[in-house]
Amino acid sequence: MLEIDIRKKLRDYSLEVKLSVARGEILMLVGDNGCGKTTLLNIVAGLQDADDGRIALDGRPIYDSALKTNIPAEARNIGYVFQSYALFPHMSVYDNVAFGLRTRSHSKNEIGLLVKDYLEAAGLWEIRKAKAVNVSGGQKQRIALARALIIEPDLLLLDEPLSALDVRRQAQMRKELRETIHACNVPCIIVTHDLRDVACIGDRACLLEKGKIVLTGGAEDVMSWGAGLPLVGSKSQVAPNDFGEAGAA
């Protein structure tokens, strides 16, 4: 269980968020560009500091201003998939996925076996020697996810994981993403501004506006939030077949 209750003064508004995500639950964080979604993820990951508040993972505080606890990003064991994927361009696909294990001083044999498992599961074993910059958008997304999952994180954070993909690839990846994340059984927050992502991937959704959660509900309720919401993926943009997929999922 992830519990967040933080405040941070930003340039134009204050980020004030209180929410919780259960183990195995996918929370979709929706909102316009600049509403504080990525800042919130960075605070949870320990890449930015909140002004005050508390973040706890399974009851263990990773940030607590009252207790002056602030576990650094490298010790939080959080899997983070960045919007641009941030794959290390000088490394091969294999080395990218192995990176998190090497920092944890796993043995070479153990790293070899684990990386092979993850690369094969993601259909990336054949391209393991390719430089991470030379693969397709869909493969980059899988590499970034495998790299985040191989460390067996206690929490998953995904920032616009599908925005760099073309529309056809997005539809295919939504289902894949949902299944992969559910299999991990950890709390997960996915930032998006596309309602199709919310409906097809998420279990629950929160709408963030100028740093505050203004609406929250089941992922399937998103459509009832109305087309008047300032979202990129408005009612009219949601393809019917995507909802079929969501229903199936």
Partner 1 sequence: MASNQADIGPYGERSLAELVNQEQEIIGIPSRTREVALKAGLAFMLVLAMAFIALPVVALFLRSPLDTTLRSLHDPVVIDALRLSLTTSTITTITVVIMGTPIAYVSARFQYFGKELADSLIDLPVIMPPAVAGIALLVAFGRMGIVGHYLNGMGISIAFTTLAVIIAQVFVSSPFYIRQARTSFEDVDLAFENAARTLGASRVYTFFHVIIPIAMNGLISGAIMAFARSLGEFGATIMFAGNFQGRTQTMPLAIYTAMQGDLDVSLCLAIILVAFSFIVIFLVKTLTRRRVHKNAGN
Give me the residues paired with residue 216 across strands.
206
Q: Helix or strand or coil: residue 219? A: helix
Check: CB of residue 19 under 8 Å from CB of residue 41: no
Please state the closest distance from residue 94 (CB atom) to partner 1, in A.
15
Please state the closest distance from residue 48 (CB atom) to partner 1, in A.
10
| Interface residue with partner 1, options 60, 68, 90, 129 (CB under 8 A) | 90
Q: Which of 40, 155, 136 lies closest to 87 in space, CA to CA? A: 136
Q: What is the DSSP string of 13-35?
A: SEEEEEEEE-TT-EEEEE--TTS
Nearer to partner 1 by C-beta: 76 or 193? 76
- In angstroms, how far is CA 245 from the centroid of its own chain? 20
Q: Helix or strand or coil: residue 126? A: helix
> According to CB under 8 A, which residues from 59 to 88 bind partner 1?
72-80, 82-88
Please state, in angstroms and rounded to a whole number, the distance separating the CA atoms of residues 100 and 103: 5
| Interface residue with partner 1, options 99, 146, 208, 242 (CB under 8 A) | 99
Please state the closest distance from residue 83 (CB atom) to partner 1, in A.
7
> According to CB under 8 A, which residues from 27 to 56 bind partner 1?
42, 45-47
> According to CB under 8 A, which residues from 122 to 141 bind partner 1?
131-133, 140
Task: Count residues binding partner 1 (CB under 8 A).
Answer: 34
Q: Which residues bind partner 1 (CB under 8 A)?
A: 42, 45-47, 72-80, 82-90, 99-100, 103-104, 131-133, 140, 147-148, 151, 164
